[in-house]
Amino acid sequence: AHLARIEAVDEKVHAFLHVDREGALEKAREVDAKRERGEKLGPLAGVPLALKDIFTTQGVPTTVGSKILEGWIPPYDATVTRRLREADVVILGKTNMDEFAMGSSTENSAYGPTGNPWDLTRIPGGSGGGSSASLAAYEAPLAIGTDTGGSIRQPAAVTGTVGVKPTYGGVSRYGMVAFSSSLDQGGPCARTVLDAALLHSVIGGHDELDSTSIDQPVPDVVTAARNGDVKGLRVGVVKEFRGEGYQAGVMQRFDESVELLRELGAEVVEISCPSFTKALAAYYLIAPSECSSNLARFDAMRYGLRVGDDGTHSAEEVTALTREAGFGDEVKRRVMLGTYALSSGYYDAYYGSAQKVRTLITRDFEKAFEQVDVMVSPTTPTTAFPIGERADDPMAMYLADLCTIPSNLAGNAAMSLPCGLAPEDGLPVGLQIIAPALADDRLYRVGAAVE
Ligand code: GLN
């Protein structure tokens, strides 16, 4: 049924870069056969899922939304992919994304944009626009995203779906193509809080293949999602997340959510995190710096595309020609920015300062979580903007992640879930819930209460 739905609508939505029809049907048959034989089935047996094209899939193309990996077939599965297979999930295919997960609209994909199922002329968010759009278009009931600065939560917000960035280290990064390794975090996307929890519990947990993976059991997110409750919970409203640039209808729905939390028995406290105002600036030095290092591996020798390999060019020239042709504008902008920020003589002024700001942001969170159990904010300042509106204005694009980036810098857990439609445009608004590191279950407890 989901393959038929994809066939019917994906020409318009373009959530998928690759539909693995054969692989999906084969897995579905395998699950049926296991069931008939009375064998033990995985916890998500037969449930279809859309996988962001940043996770390696053995024998199935993985492009990361880039021309530079066009034609590359990974020889191995990411840990997330492997765990999905072991849970007997049916992987439908790979979803569209901003190239190397750099963007907030999926317009930076080398394979063309994805439409927002609520209004196809608008962006589905990014970088994981394909995953969230596939849920909103009913092409898949579950999806996987990655969140470096908001790429799970912002697409969830603008498509009216649920998305969770687990605590950093909570879901393995092995086989997840690196953008900014100290920020990147894979996580679940779904249409309900409980569905997200069921998926989270399957993909999460320690992995020896990722040195930053947390060596502890996954917090009990499923029980939390089944027992939504905020009675007596202290909820912090972050003062810095409102004001200029925030759409009126977004703030209206957010304020109503805060009111609902109060009615359900939460104690609402206003808190201040002054360093959050510098988060965007710090992020746009740290993320490009790490990306300039991570993307050095795309040298035309190891994977995918190779340009100019005709016997007339040196190896260096082949690398340069391939990178020139294979990387899009945003990726080049970040590699240049990062290389500059890390260069000798500038390192302390840029990268060093950004790391200090990162520490201040972490301290703001620590202080806040002495006063409150969770924090809330709008996920993103506006609803889905029209495709093309911010394509030539990187600064405007970067603002979409104003409220999501602090949690990546600090490494704590955060969720976005729908909280109604903005009255002025009838488009979905996201509520962000933020919890301390390792307290991912709190997100689900609160999310299930207000869902
Ligand atoms: N939009 C942010 C960026 O462009 C975040 C992307 C992400 O989370 N992968 O870097």
Domain residue extents for the chain: 2-226
Q: What torsion, rounded to 10 degrees, do the Cα atoms 225, 227, 228, 229 define?
A: -140
pLDDT at 304 over 90: no
* Cα gap 264→260, rounded to integer Å: 6
**123 alpha carbon, distance to own chain's centre:** 15
Average pLDDT, integer, range 185-195 = 98
- Interface pTM, i.e. ipTM: 0.98
**Tens-place pLDDT, residues 121-177:** 999 999 999 999 999 999 999 999 999 999 999 999 999 999 999 999 999 999 999
What is the per-residue pLDDT for 21? 98
DSSP state of 43: T
- Specify whether the CB–CB gap between 377 and 241 falls below 8 A: yes
- Under the banding of pLDDT at 50, 70 and 90, the label for residue 303 is confident
127 is catalytic: yes
pLDDT at residue 414 in the model: 99
**Strand positions, DSSP E, 87-140:** 90-95
Tell me the pLDDT tens digit for each residue of 400-435.
999 999 999 999 999 999 999 999 999 999 999 999
- Cα of 104 vs centre of ligand 1, distance in Å, is 6
- In tens, the pLDDT along 327-366 reads 999 999 999 999 999 999 999 999 999 999 999 999 999 9
- Give residue 251 CA to ligand 1 midpoint distance, Å: 23
Instruction: Note the Cα 350 to chain centre separation in Å.
Output: 26
Question: Do the beta carbons of residue 125 and residue 35 sit within 8 Å?
Answer: no
The CATH architecture that domain 2-226 belongs to is Alpha-Beta Complex (3.90)
Does 91 have pLDDT greater than 90?
yes
**CA 15 – ligand 1 centroid, Å:** 18
Q: Which helix (H) or strand (E) holds 286?
A: helix 279-294
Shortest-distance atom of ligand 1 to CA 128: 9
Query: Contact at 8 Å (CB) between 237 and 375?
Result: yes
Give the pLDDT confidence score for residue 6 in this predicted structure: 98
> Catalytic residue among 66, 104, 109, 151, which?
151
Ligand 1 centroid distance, CA of 93 (Å): 22
Looking at the chain, the whole-number percentage of residues with pLDDT higher than 70 is 100
Peptide bond into 127 cis (omega under 30): yes
Give the bridge partners for 164, in sequence order. Answer: 415
Predicted confidence (pLDDT) at residue 291 exceeds the cutoff of 90: yes
Cβ-contact 94, 88 below 8 angstroms: no
Q: How would residue 18 be classed by pLDDT, with cut points 50, 70 and 90?
A: very high
Find the residues whose C-beta lies inside 6 A of ligand 1.
Answer: 101-104, 127, 147-151, 179, 287, 401
H helix or E strand, kind and range, residue 225: helix 221-226
Tell me how far apart the alpha carbons of residues 450 and 447 are, in angstroms, rounded to a whole number: 5
Secondary structure of 356-418 in HEC code, one letter for each residue: HHHHHHHHHHHHHHHHCCEEEEECCCCCCCECCCCCCCHHHHHHHHCCCHHHHHHCCEEEEEE
- Name the helix (H) or strand (E) containing 262: helix 248-263
Radius of gyration of the chain (CA): 21
- Measured from the Cα of 179, ligand 1's closest atom is 9
355: which strand partners? none
